[in-house]
């Protein structure tokens, strides 16, 4: 079974994206450096995009 197109991968990536978005919000609220917040935001966007692309392939 291929990793791409796996419905479990979509769920895992969605959970990871949610955790990363929470991390971005938390680091923004506590006044962390812009670099840390930016890296977390970039990782969150990448996880959301990859989950969406994988979901399209699953369907």
Instruction: Compare 43 and 57 and report the one with higher pLDDT.
Output: 43
Sign of the four-CA dihedral 35, 44, 13, 18: positive
| pTM for this prediction | 0.80
Question: CA torsion sign, 45 to 50 to 53 to 59?
Answer: negative
**Tens digit of each residue's pLDDT (9 = 90 or more) over 21-45:** 999 999 999 998 999 999 999 999 9
What are the structural domain ranges in the chain? 7-58
Per the CB < 8 A criterion, the answer to whether 51 and 13 are in contact is yes
Q: How far is CA 25 from CA 8, 17, 18, 47, in A?
A: 26, 12, 11, 16
């Amino acid at each position: 079974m291929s990793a791409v197109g796996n419905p479990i991968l979509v769920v895992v990536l969605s959970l990871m994206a949610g955790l990363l978005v929470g991390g971005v919000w938390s680091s923004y609220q506590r006044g962390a450096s812009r670099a840390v917040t930016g890296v977390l935001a970039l990782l969150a966007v990448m996880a959301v995009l990859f989950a969406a692309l994988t979901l399209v392939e699953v369907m």
